[in-house]
Structure 1
Amino acid sequence: MIRSTSTLLFLCLILTFTANAQEFTRMGNTFQLAKSSIRLEFCTPFMFRVSKGNVANEPWMVNRYNWDTVNIRVTTTSGQITLQTSALRVVIRKPAFNIDVYAADGRLLSAEIASDSISCHKLLQPDEHFFGFGERMDFLDQRGKKVALNVGRGKGMPHLTGAYNVLEANYSPVPFFMSTKGYGIFLHTSYASDWDMGNSKADNYSFSAAKGPLDYYFIYGPRFGGILEQYTLLTGRSPLLPQYALGLHAGTYSGGTWGYEEQTSAAYVIALARRFREQGIPIDILFLDSTWRLFGKNGGKGATSFEWRETFHLPENMFDSLYALHYNMVGLHIRPRLDNGNRFHLLDSAAALGYTYPEGNKPGEFVNFFDTTAVNWWWEHAATKVASIGARFFKTDEGSAFGALANESNKTGPSGPEAQRLHNIFPLAYASAAYGKFAAFNHLRGMNQTREGYAGIQRFPFIFAGDWPSEWQYFEPVIKAGLNIGLSGVGYWAHCMGGFEHPADPELYIRWCQFGMLSPIALVFGMDHPGYKEPWQYGKDAQTNFKQYDELRYSLLPYMYSNAYEMYKTGKPLMRALVLEYQDDENVYNITDQYLLGNSIMVCPVTQKGAQTRVVYLPEGKWIDYWTGNVYDGHRYINALAPLDKLPLFIKAGSIIPTQAVQQYVGEHTIENITLEIYPFGNSSATLYNDDGKSLRYQEGEYTLTQITNEADSNHVKVHITGPVGSYHSSLKTYTLKIHVTAKPVRVNVAKWRYEDNTKCIYIDDLSADKENTIEIN
């Protein structure tokens, strides 16, 4: 009887294996469906890849393909194959092999209607909404919309219907979205793609690429933060920028924009840098835009000769002067085309070596940034001509011009199927080359400024929003662009404060700069001659306001830097659309003019001319008006006062915000004290991050983390600060606690403390930063 049972069990195992073998073959985490081109591979218990046909593992969009073994339980029936992890149950329905996905608790996440070699149709659930798709200026919630993703800007004349068309702006598209049902989809393609998110049919959505094979990743959160964590595990996370890159950036046309090139000079640049210092406006980064360089003989404005315009005398002395004024980085604008100048014949040399892309019967101008040998030649023979005398980063402009109409040229560069395949990822290869080469050359963390990007661009930060005119109608769409790119895995993002083209209305300049100083990267730059968005060009009130908010930013650098570390570890952006933190609150789905800066500060820009108030939505919880200290219950709308000098700011109750004394530039003084601003409410915590601010040693663990916790009820506040944990030896010696309370306390468990009635704050000075501290207040 025992033998018979064993034999029967053995036969059952054989039959089961045989049945499975007919259904699929398995190798590790990968399942190849029999009689089908469909392959399904688990990356983590929360993420899997679906492909149809032969797919390539490329290094630009995705930088991880090797995954740890995932525990997968497999069951088969006559009608389906079920693959189950600790987080997901994936059901493959026969005979079409449509894929449905359930959470571990049985909740339906996604149901597939049909798919083929280039497209996929899925069920659109009645209360489902979609966010992401890259740096878009049209909508936040894309339910019911059609979305076309292909790197570029609106084309056609006049500019009002072409380049200034917010519906067509596509500087940095990302073929990725997050659903309020708790999942995301990343379409792994470099080709142009189209997404119908319920526009044609109310009960389904679809996505397709211009060319196959179909290749996408399904990512489960269920919270948006969890989806972004998995997505950036796949496509890469933003590295830490140098800490001074969180200070103010200014761009300049050196005194002469288009049509005024003869007015450019190194003297203008030095005078500009000195004026910021004389006015006491904190600043760290300066870059020279297009007109520093001699326009070439073949590509004109659209190409880079790496020769200085004749109006620049001794540019190496200019760099020396700028660094003597304590600018931490000075950079230059370039384009990806090479050209011949008066002295250097870079285009001829590169083309002869095969390092450029041929353009019909004409010599190629675009450097092949996909080729390591070409990149090395470009760096050694072109880029180092300026890096060797002081340039420390590039603004890599016009990445969209590869295989498409360029802004400053009537050329489209290479054409044909290969250019179509590479068009969207060319900006990645271009930015990667400059970012990596400068980091190695400077022996510092890299920094790169670029206008165009695609999935994965967050590894070569940072993105800026493009050339939008200084008009009220573009202000709110630019904010929207920042929200959408943050929801797409890109955390370092900037825009031209006050707008880029045309002189700005002084009121618009003030309002836009308030927003800009509380953006992930603060950048002031314009092409309006002769103003160039320099703050003193817009009147005394504008200059005063500019300096006020710039100083606010510099005081927040420890907070910004700690949140940048969180972004490096988790992929959560610095600028967070409210839906990122409150995805179950439908009230936030279309809020495009409010956001969280980091995890504690809600920023509410004023985007209407003449407005003295604005409606603000406060999500769940309690919120404190930064300017007045008034406390509001959440999940409600309020009418916030907004005089011209005040940008409405609200602090999430329970927040712990590290601040420091304002410096004129990062590194002006050794930081020995940090103030911890604490807004007690319930139980909350924060992490203070510290490292040397410049090197890559943080990637080897050379940093410290300090945990601060707060426990509060109506009668008692307890603040606990751990000692620093980690191998970095910080200059930080003491903390000052600034605790916001409603009334003077009866007892504080330290000898020295003070209460100020006008601020309703308790101040405790000189707490050791090297030791554990516990403060109790009754």
Structure 2
Amino acid sequence: MALSQQNLESLELTTLNDGFALSWQNRLILRHTAQTPCLWVGAGEADIDMFRGNFSIKDKLDEKIALIEAAVIPQDAGWNVRFTRGDTVNATLHIGIDAEGRLELKLKNDSASHNRIWLRLAAKPEDHIYGCGEQFSYFDLRGKPFPLWTSEQGVGRNKQTYVTWQADCKENAGGDYYWTFFPQPTFVSTQKYYCHVENSCYMNFDFSAPDFHELAIWQDQAVLRFECADNYIQLLEKLTGLLGRQPEMPDWIYDGVTLGVQGGNEVCQQKLDVMRKGGVKVNGIWAQDWSGIRMTSFGKRVMWNWRWNGDLYPELNTRIKQWQAEGVRFLTYINPYVASDRDQCEEASKLGYLTKTHDGKDYHVEFGEFYAGVIDLTNPEAYDWYKELIKRNLIELGFGGWMADFGEYLPTDTVLHNGVSAEVMHNAWPALWAKCNYEALEETGKLGEVLFFMRAGYTGSQKYSTMMWAGDQNVDWSLDDGLASVIPAALSLAMTGHGLHHSDIGGYTTLFDMKRSKELLMRWCEFSAFTPMMRTHEGNRPGDNVQFDNDSDIIAQFARMTTVFTTLKPYIKHAVALNSQSGLPVMRPLFLHYEDDPQTYILKYQYLFGRDLLVAPVHQPGSSEWTLYLPQDNWVNLWTGEPYTGGGEITVAAPIGQPPVFYRATSEWAELFTSLRHI
């Protein structure tokens, strides 16, 4: 492919005395000199230990060598740059334009002994950086390194907190600021370009230095793609054009809250009756224990044998039809593992569908007082077998959806059917799991009618995961692992190309004397009314947590906020449709629409819900008022009708049931928003 005149104008390589500079659409991408090289290579051996989805990762590094000499060789489709250090160390960088007009950098270690690459991209001190998957502690990633490895998100996620210390002491489960279910080697710069690395190996993106971003890649080759745009909305459209977009959600999602309930048909019916009698709009029952339960010291766990448990849920097929006739879907649970002591694992083993140990035996993973086999999704026959299981045992029974849990536990020392190292496949595994669920819906004609939601993800999840949820937050107010952490998680995922996100109302993880409070549950409920989906969870220890039906105040709060949510249905559906059509996320950072306002680039605990609603959730206990930032625009308090002129911080009353929410005075939805004052 010859470069077009437009591409030639966009891509500029300038030869320097001892190096070169590469610019793309007036953005400096690479600058290399002998004194400041852009490329290092080396050799290392990964030391990776996993315990219950928590990873300890070290690199036994033999050498890291700066390649200081660079020879630029023109090619028809760009340039080849030959990097060397002496006579034995070398690497090649091909610079070109791909078939879709994106800048493409292809890196290859030419020394067989080298399996590490460090590439430094040019940066400006004033740059802000967003993305890298779902990041819970930071939204602007500038100033810190971010290792990219799908894992448990960690309990506490802050090495300065007592909870994290306790979790680390117990089983190395405390985590850190970068631990995430959904990492991705994709970032967006405020120079209005994105960079995406196609690899799935372990990587570390370090944004600490003022004048470069260092990308560490644990492979001997890498492919990077870049696109630029005039604004962030166009940039996300281009990014999601590369990665894929989520389909629109089923219509019933907008009709209320999905109640997380366990314990059988009658418990589900009783709780449904209580909530509906209290005026709560309910669209579904989510019963994760449909296949039975297993009690562990962690709490009540699902039985990982993906078949309807008729003892716990007798005549479930009839009850599903009854509830659906009443506008209530029945949702359930599955993951890509099968309990070692149950018949589905035995069947998978006989068919050869489990991943293997190096001596050819079935690999079993310890998940917390029980073991499970890993379905080898790289084996086409095993993949189809599991997809048919989903069709037969979930879709045909009439489920309205399910949690497609886990995906981040692939051990790096297991052997896969496709022959690819599990270390390289580990990050790609969640997207492969999403694809299996997606195709089960697509092939049965249920896409757009049935919804599955996931916590784990990677490149490809944009196309195949119909909804993300934030995972297992603590039932507390902590910034790194409580209610607040869900907001930067949604925004960073939005800047990685996945625009549908929600969370467990009230959180999930209940350990170390944590107990979900009434106030936390009510605040989380009102926050969730301004997300694409409302869904509760009892938590891993339901008896330690306040639940949605504990008293009349909580039921009244759910009645109020589900009424708000269902009233906003046309507005939310419109935002979801835009996400499907162009990749514009439903929950948006403020700078997408106020890019000339520098304050919007550092906000991580408030967001735009669609174009016209600004939401600043109350995420600290005992707060009756809240301070937030309004960008330059004319705003109206959603609850009081009081007008505000933006351009600074304001403090407003924020009683429970009235979280700080403002709408644009000129919005075409103003009449709909005004109607919420009377709820």
The TM-score bracket by the shorter chain reads: 0.7 to 0.9
Counterpart residue number, 2:601: 589
Q: For each residue in 1:237-274, what CA deviation from the matched residue of structure 2 results, as whole angstroms up to 9, or x when unmatched?
A: 111111222344435351xxxxxxxxx32322233333
From the superposition, tell whether residues 149 and 126 of structure 1 become closer, same or farther in structure 2 (CA, over 3 Å): same
- 1:354 is aligned, of 352, 355, 371, to 352
Q: Which amino acid aligns with 1:553?
A: F
Counterpart residue number, 1:650: 662
SS, match of residue 97 in structure 2: strand
1:610 and 2:622 aligned = yes
Counterpart residue number, 2:502: 494
Equivalent-residue separation in structure 2 for 1:514 and 1:44 (angstroms): 46
From the superposition, tell whether residues 438 and 286 of structure 1 become closer, same or farther in structure 2 (CA, over 3 Å): farther
1:196 and 2:195 aligned = no
From the superposition, tell whether residues 387 and 568 of structure 1 become closer, same or farther in structure 2 (CA, over 3 Å): closer
Counterpart residue number, 1:468: 473
From the superposition, tell whether residues 442 and 417 of structure 1 become closer, same or farther in structure 2 (CA, over 3 Å): closer
SS, match of residue 451 in structure 2: coil
Q: How does 1:81-160 map to 2 (within 5 A)?
A: 118-154=117-153, 158-159=166-167
Q: Which amino acid aligns with 1:471?
A: D
Q: For each residue in 1:14-60, what CA deviation from the matched residue of structure 2 results, as whole angstroms up to 9, or x when unmatched?
A: xxxxxxxx94333xxx43527673333434787322112399xxxxx
CA positional deviation for 1:482: 1.4
CA positional deviation for 1:425: 1.2
Counterpart residue number, 1:456: 460
Q: Verify the 8 A CA contact 1:131 1:178 in the aligned structure 2.
A: yes
1:24 and 2:37 aligned = no
CA positional deviation for 1:116: 11
Q: Verify the 8 A CA contact 1:393 1:434 in the aligned structure 2.
A: no
Q: Verify the 8 A CA contact 2:290 2:313 in the aligned structure 1.
A: no
Q: Verify the 8 A CA contact 1:366 1:413 in the aligned structure 2.
A: no
Equivalenced residue count is 558
Q: Which amino acid aligns with 2:128?
A: H
TM-score (norm 2): 0.75
Counterpart residue number, 2:237: 229
Q: Verify the 8 A CA contact 1:140 1:589 in the aligned structure 2.
A: no
SS, match of residue 614 in structure 1: strand
Q: How does 1:198-347 map to 2 (within 5 A)?
A: 198=208, 201-254=209-262, 264-290=263-289, 292-293=291-292, 304-309=304-309, 310-327=311-328, 329-339=329-339, 345-347=343-345
Equivalent-residue separation in structure 2 for 1:43 and 1:286 (angstroms): 47
Q: Which amino acid aligns with 1:419?
A: A
Q: Verify the 8 A CA contact 1:135 1:484 in the aligned structure 2.
A: yes
TM-score (norm 1): 0.66
Counterpart residue number, 2:80: 33
Q: Which runs of 5+ in 1 are unaligned?
A: 1-21, 56-114, 255-263, 405-411, 659-674, 679-737, 741-757, 760-778
Select the structure with the greater relative contact order (CA < 8 A; seq sep ≥ 6): 2
From the superposition, tell whether residues 209 and 34 of structure 1 become closer, same or farther in structure 2 (CA, over 3 Å): closer
Q: Which amino acid aligns with 1:169?
A: W
**CA RMSD across the alignment:** 3.1
Counterpart residue number, 1:375: 383
Q: For each residue in 1:497-541, what CA deviation from the matched residue of structure 2 results, as whole angstroms up to 9, or x when unmatched?
A: 12113442111211111111111222211224248764221x322
Q: Verify the 8 A CA contact 1:48 1:218 in the aligned structure 2.
A: yes
Equivalent-residue separation in structure 2 for 1:373 and 1:54 (angstroms): 35
CA positional deviation for 1:301: 6.0
From the superposition, tell whether residues 41 and 374 of structure 1 become closer, same or farther in structure 2 (CA, over 3 Å): farther
1:447 and 2:451 aligned = yes
- 1:178 is aligned, of 188, 205, 208, to 188
Counterpart residue number, 1:388: 396
Equivalent-residue separation in structure 1 for 2:276 and 2:656 (angstroms): 25
CA positional deviation for 1:125: 0.9
Equivalent-residue separation in structure 1 for 2:324 and 2:595 (angstroms): 46
Q: Verify the 8 A CA contact 2:281 2:562 in the aligned structure 1.
A: yes
- 1:430 is aligned, of 429, 433, 437, to 433
Equivalent-residue separation in structure 1 for 2:592 and 2:388 (angstroms): 43
Q: For each residue in 1:710-741, what CA deviation from the matched residue of structure 2 results, as whole angstroms up to 9, or x when unmatched?
A: xxxxxxxxxxxxxxxxxxxxxxxxxxxx9x9x
SS, match of residue 448 in structure 1: strand
Q: Which amino acid aligns with 2:344?
A: L
Equivalent-residue separation in structure 1 for 2:504 and 2:154 (angstroms): 21
From the superposition, tell whether residues 160 and 545 of structure 1 become closer, same or farther in structure 2 (CA, over 3 Å): farther
Equivalent-residue separation in structure 1 for 2:428 and 2:256 (angstroms): 29
Equivalent-residue separation in structure 1 for 2:109 and 2:400 (angstroms): 41
From the superposition, tell whether residues 549 and 610 of structure 1 become closer, same or farther in structure 2 (CA, over 3 Å): same
SS, match of residue 119 in structure 2: strand
Equivalent-residue separation in structure 2 for 1:617 and 1:381 (angstroms): 49
Greater shift, 166-175 or 493-502, is seen at 166-175
Counterpart residue number, 2:367: none
From the superposition, tell whether residues 315 and 164 of structure 1 become closer, same or farther in structure 2 (CA, over 3 Å): farther
Q: For each residue in 1:49-103, what CA deviation from the matched residue of structure 2 results, as whole angstroms up to 9, or x when unmatched?
A: 2112399xxxxxxxxxxxxxxxxxxxxxxxxxxxxxxxxxxxxxxxxxxxxxxxx
SS, match of residue 236 in structure 2: helix
1:561 and 2:587 aligned = no
Q: For each residue in 1:86-142, what CA deviation from the matched residue of structure 2 results, as whole angstroms up to 9, or x when unmatched?
A: xxxxxxxxxxxxxxxxxxxxxxxxxxxxx9972311232121111111111111111
Q: For each residue in 1:150-206, what CA deviation from the matched residue of structure 2 results, as whole angstroms up to 9, or x when unmatched?
A: 0012569732775454514311112111111111111211112101102xx333221
Based on CA coordinates, which of the two structures has the bigger radius of gyration? Answer: 1
Q: How does 1:507-518 map to 2 (within 5 A)?
A: 507-518=519-530
